[in-house]
A and B are shown apart, each in its own frame.
Chain A
Amino acid sequence: MKLEKKTICLAIYFGLLLMPIYWMLNMSLRTNADILGYFALYPKDITFANYIKIFTDQSWYSGYVNSIIYVSINTVISLLTALPAAYAFSRFRFLGDKHLFFWLLTNRMAPAAVFALPFFQLYSSVGLMDTHIAVALAHCLFNVPLAVWILEGFMTGIPKEIDETAFIDGYSFPRFFLTIFIPLIRAGVGVTAFFCFMFSWVELLIARTLTVTNAKPIAAIMTRTISATGLDYGLLAAAGMLTIVPGMLVIWFARNHMAKGFALGRV
């Protein structure tokens, strides 16, 4: 009985959650004049023109490619650097550890607007402007601290005895870390990977500041739907629908790790 009540509440929430998404889908299948003209619960004359435009116009679909490239680089860098660091924070006491840990998070606390110009100057001076690696590196500013914090939370939940037992059994540190420890926190790794992907994917200001043409992100290209005649809502909605797809794939691959979680007794 209790279980059913839970499921019903969950279903209601998900129904409400899907409403705006459904409306975006609805808009993406109509022309702009149609959207602004009248209310329609479902599109009466379905048109795929908006999607066709995105898939055939190079300046549109290259935006997706650019975003996917720098977001992937960013996620990989964030995870690779954050995993050992989070381990250090969760297991060791060392000079300045608490200060450093909190300092990391302070990098997410500054309002972005005024920082755009210094970012531009910094990345111009090292000759990285308009490259994917520049955006990936700049996004590390907020994703690496996030990854360290999330992973540290999961690692602290694992008893230290597991490390000790493994070292007594003669495991080297890298072997212990890769074959025993990381599998234990796969829920954390899954959710961290998704969040790094997500925050980098939707970030607009830094990505737009650091790119001109070669690495222009999709979120910046979408702002082009604003023209002299107003906003092309249909095209924007179609682009919005397509921005969901890569993230859905990421969560699809991460889902097993997130659901499995902790399986004690491997050692």
Chain B
Amino acid sequence: MDKWENNRAWFLVLPVFIIVAFSSILPIMTVVNYSLQDIWGPGQSVFVGTEWYEEMLANERLHDALWRQFLFSGLVLLIEMPLGILLALAMPKRGWGVSLCLVTISLPLLIPWNTIGTIWIIFTRPDIGLFGKAVNYFVEFDHTARPLDAWVTLMLMEVWHWTPLVALLAYAGLRAIPDAYYQAAKIDGASAWSTFWYIQLPKMRGVLTIAFLLRFMDSFLIYAEPFVLTGGGPGNSTTFLSIYLVKIALLQFDLGPGGAFSLIYFVIVLLFSYMFYQALQRVGRGEKV
């Protein structure tokens, strides 16, 4: 769509800019400050330049956590995006089923994250939890002892928790497609698959882009659920970047390395989000009907 050229549109954007910049700029500058200093008390610090960055970039445990994080986010996106779209396609379009589906599917999203972890601790316990008991009936399964089981449990919890977000966005996107498009497809005798591929998917590009980016960012920054459920263990098998960051920054109270870590972390998320964003924009343009 060709846009109108008009710089006065800035006035429409200005409130958003002010309100976000207020909470954004000072904190990030403060963290930049931390990352360049060695701080050992209020008002007691010395400028160390890029020392913390060098130390963090060379840190082996950080590398391990980073690869773990990529694997986790990759799996999350591979499972949740298709599943969410399928759910949105399967959900009813009118009638009482709509309300039932929308309310039910949003339930997991509404529970505070630390509570989700705690509930899943009991839910997956082999002796007193529904899931743990049921699975152990068939195979031995214990997420506190075996890394693979811990991963499976975390992935299940993650998919349970966040697929509804993709599904809700995709559903709203589907509902926003004008009936005229479906009528045209019907007249052309299009199959369900080609209707999906040539009409529904391109029309959902906007919402799916934001769903994809949201899921990437939030899964890459995940903290509360694995911290509560596995505490990063067994061993270090589920120590993701955020968990390691909190270990450095808050438990050892090292603001300098913590600040440097945060900014490196931020830049990684930024770079990948930007790449995904550009790629998704391009894919969309190629497919536009």
A interface residues, Cβ below 8 angstroms from B: 6-7, 9-10, 13-14, 16-24, 26-27, 35-39, 41, 77, 81-82, 84-85, 87-89, 91-95, 97, 100, 102, 104-115, 117-119, 121-122, 137-138, 140-141, 144-146, 148-150, 152-154, 156-157, 159-160, 185, 187-188, 190-191, 194-195, 198, 201-202, 204, 218-219, 222-223, 231, 233, 236-237, 239-240, 243-244, 246-248, 251-252, 255, 258-262, 264
Bound Cα distance from A179 to B250, whole angstroms? 51
Report the nearest B residue to A116, measured CB to CB.
Answer: B250
Query: Known contacts A10-B90, A146-B214; is A202 also within 8 Å of B128 by CB?
Result: no
| CB <8 Å contact, B115 and A222 | yes
Partner of A255, one of B103, B210, B250: B103
Bound Cα distance from A93 to B89, whole angstroms? 34
| CB <8 Å contact, A252 and B103 | yes
Q: Which residues does chain B contribute within 8 Å of A92, judged by CB atoms?
A: 3-6, 9, 12
Instruction: Give 10 nearest A-B pairs by CB, closest first.
Output: A153-B206, A261-B175, A247-B110, A92-B9, A118-B30, A118-B27, A88-B12, A219-B112, A88-B9, A191-B172
Q: Which residues does chain B contribute within 8 Å of A202, judged by CB atoms?
A: 109-113
B interface residues, Cβ below 8 angstroms from A: 1-10, 12-13, 15-17, 19-20, 22-24, 26-28, 30-31, 34, 87, 89-91, 93-94, 98-99, 101-115, 118-120, 122-123, 127-131, 133, 160, 164-165, 168-169, 171-180, 203, 205-207, 209-210, 213-214, 217-218, 221, 223-224, 241-242, 245-246, 249-250, 255, 258-259, 261-262, 265-266, 269-270, 273-274, 277
**Among A87, A152, A190, A251, residue most surrounded by chain B Cβ atoms (within 10 Å):** A251
Report the nearest B residue to A163, measured CB to CB.
Answer: B4
Q: Which residues does chain B contribute within 8 Å of A36, judged by CB atoms?
A: 128
